[in-house]
């Protein structure tokens, strides 16, 4: 062993042996400093190239949040496309109850998946309601809505290709007149947002059941709106197939009614619960107990 150490020491006869207080030789310190400067130069050059490529700075955290919101919307609409397609394939043997169960289960899955990342709004009406009634920043509302619409349109398009159904079959239409469709969408979305705000306020009490309660609320909403309005409760859900088919008949009902109902429901809960601290901020932890989400 001693001979090996002597041989190793003689292998580098030109290296200085004077070490610093840190235990490194001057040669090591100079080499480390030189390497650090070179690495800093490389990083700065890469940043300069990146800055020249993109005229704006991207916040990685915000980008992940928006991507999660788009993915959650994609999952929701694709599952809805699936149950609509299966209804057609089975010649109507799959009905309203199966549709409601699919929507409820999908919301539960999405809440537990991305609730801790983006809050799992997956609904433009919900995002607007949280911004109007709580501290959710208005500056993030356009990005959330854009992500929700992009994810929904992508899901409708892929669902059309995968299942081989027409986009028109996924559209929501008034079945009992415009007035009935408008008010049933408004009232049910009001109820869902009222329940959602209560869940958020009681997050410590409700705990892991929050996503399940949100899914049950969605399932209930589908059951009582399906025969009247087609059970949208979500502007992105109705916009996606309308954009794919480029048919916007009665789309105003499914944009205005859910938005008005959501904002009213959130504000109503805030008025009734004056001493409650309702927090619609984006979750920083991965805990699935923040169902700022609901849609169908």
Q: List Cβ neighbours of 18 (8 Å cut-off, separation of 6 or more).
A: 25, 26
Provide the 10 A C-beta neighbour count for residue 135. 11
Using DSSP's 3-state secondary structure scheme, residue 123 falls into coil
pLDDT at 48: 46
Q: Which of 241, 236, 280 is nearest to 259 (CA)?
A: 236
What does the angle CA 193 – CA 80 – CA 253 come to, to the nearest 5 degrees? 55
Using DSSP's 3-state secondary structure scheme, residue 172 falls into coil
CATH architecture of 64-272: Up-down Bundle (1.20)
Rounded CA-CA distance 247/170 in Å is 12
Max Cα distance, the chain (Å): 97
Alpha helices (runs of H) in the chain, residue ranges in sequence order? 2-11, 26-53, 60-89, 96-114, 124-133, 141-163, 178-201, 203-206, 210-229, 235-245, 251-272
pLDDT at 275: 59
Provide the 10 A C-beta neighbour count for residue 223. 18
Q: At what angle do helices 210-229 and 96-114 cross, to 10 degrees?
A: 140
> Over the chain (296 residues), what is each successive 10-residue block's mean pLDDT?
40 38 42 48 45 62 94 96 87 80 95 91 95 89 96 95 88 91 96 91 76 92 92 94 92 96 94 64 37 43
Rounded CA-CA distance 185/293 in Å is 17
Answer yes or no: are the C-beta atoms of 52 and 63 closer than 8 Å.
no
pLDDT at 161: 93
* 19: phi then psi, degrees, rounded to nearest 5: -100, 155
pLDDT at 277: 55
For 38, the token pair is 């070179």
pLDDT at 59: 83
């Amino acid at each position: 062993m001693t001979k090996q150490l002597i041989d190793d020491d003689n292998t580098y006869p030109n290296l200085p042996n004077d070490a610093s207080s840190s235990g490194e030789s001057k040669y090591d310190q100079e080499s480390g400093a030189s390497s650090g400067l070179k690495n800093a130069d490389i990083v700065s050059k890469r940043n300069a190239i990146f800055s020249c490529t993109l005229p704006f700075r991207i916040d990685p955290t915000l980008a992940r949040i928006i991507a999660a919101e788009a993915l959650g919307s994609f999952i929701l609409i694709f599952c809805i496309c699936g149950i609509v397609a299966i209804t057609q394939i089975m010649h109507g043997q799959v009905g309203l109850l199966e549709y409601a169960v699919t929507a409820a289960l999908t919301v539960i899955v999405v809440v537990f998946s991305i609730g801790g990342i983006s809050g799992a709004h997956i609904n433009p009406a919900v995002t607007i309601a949280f911004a109007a009634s709580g501290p959710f920043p208005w500056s993030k509302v356009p990005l959330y809505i854009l992500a929700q619409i992009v994810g929904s349109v992508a899901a409708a398009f892929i669902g059309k290709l995968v299942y081989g159904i027409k986009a028109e079959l996924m559209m929501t239409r008034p079945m009992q007149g415009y007035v009935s469709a408008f008010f049933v969408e408004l009232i049910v979305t009001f109820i869902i947002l009222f329940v959602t705000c209560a869940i958020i306020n009681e997050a410590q009490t409700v705990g892991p059941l929050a996503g399940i309660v949100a899914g049950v609320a969605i399932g209930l909403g589908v059951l009582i709106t399906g025969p009247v309005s087609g059970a949208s409760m979500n502007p992105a859900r109705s916009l996606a197939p309308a954009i794919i088919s480029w048919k916007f008949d009665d789309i105003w009902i499914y944009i205005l009614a859910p938005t008005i109902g959501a904002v009213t429901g959130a504000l109503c809960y805030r008025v009734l619960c004056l001493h409650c601290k309702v927090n619609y901020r984006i979750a920083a932890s991965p805990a699935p107990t923040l169902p700022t989400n609901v849609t169908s």
